[in-house]
Amino acid sequence: MKRIRMAALASLVALAAGAGISAAQDTGPRESSPKVTAAPKFTSTGVSGTPESVPPGEDRSAAAHCPAGTVLTGGGGGFENNAQDVTVVNSVPDIDWWIVTGSNHGSVPTDLVAWAVCITP
């Protein structure tokens, strides 16, 4: 057991010595690190459109519009207040608007709302 410990210790000393010699001899020129440029900074804004009442048995659309000087990057929509018997049938961008269409299969009117995600470049 003592021989194994001594052999391990000798190996460590040899590795350490070799690393020291290698580091002392490494005086050549270094390559410069590549420059890292920061990503552009954007400000994100969430916009909710005006809720659109969808009567029972009908389909309606609601829209959310990005403010001037911003760019639409996404959006969505849905029915408010955990409405039941409703379906979002379409949710699409249109230049700087997000438009959502919903269908009310229930027996009471319910509000559909669209939202847009806009950034300021």
Whether 16 is in a domain gets the answer no
**93 within 8 A of 66, measured Cβ to Cβ:** no
Whether 12 is in a domain gets the answer no
Domain count within the chain: 1
Alpha helices (runs of H) in the chain, residue ranges in sequence order? 2-25
**85 within 8 A of 56, measured Cβ to Cβ:** no
Tens of pLDDT, residue by residue over 29-58, are 566 667 777 777 888 889 999 999 999 999
Whether 20 is in a domain gets the answer no
pTM over 0.95: no
pLDDT grade for 27, boundaries at 50, 70 and 90: low
Q: How do the residues of the chain divide into helix, strand and coil, expressed in percent and rounded to 5?
A: 20, 45, 35
Whether 35 is in a domain gets the answer no
Whether 32 is in a domain gets the answer no
Instruction: Name the phi and psi angles at 111, rounded to 5.
Output: -90, 135
Tens of pLDDT, residue by residue over 102-115, are 999 999 999 999 99
Whether 25 is in a domain gets the answer no
- Domain range for 78: 43-120
Whether 1 is in a domain gets the answer no
DSSP secondary structure code for residue 104 in this structure: E
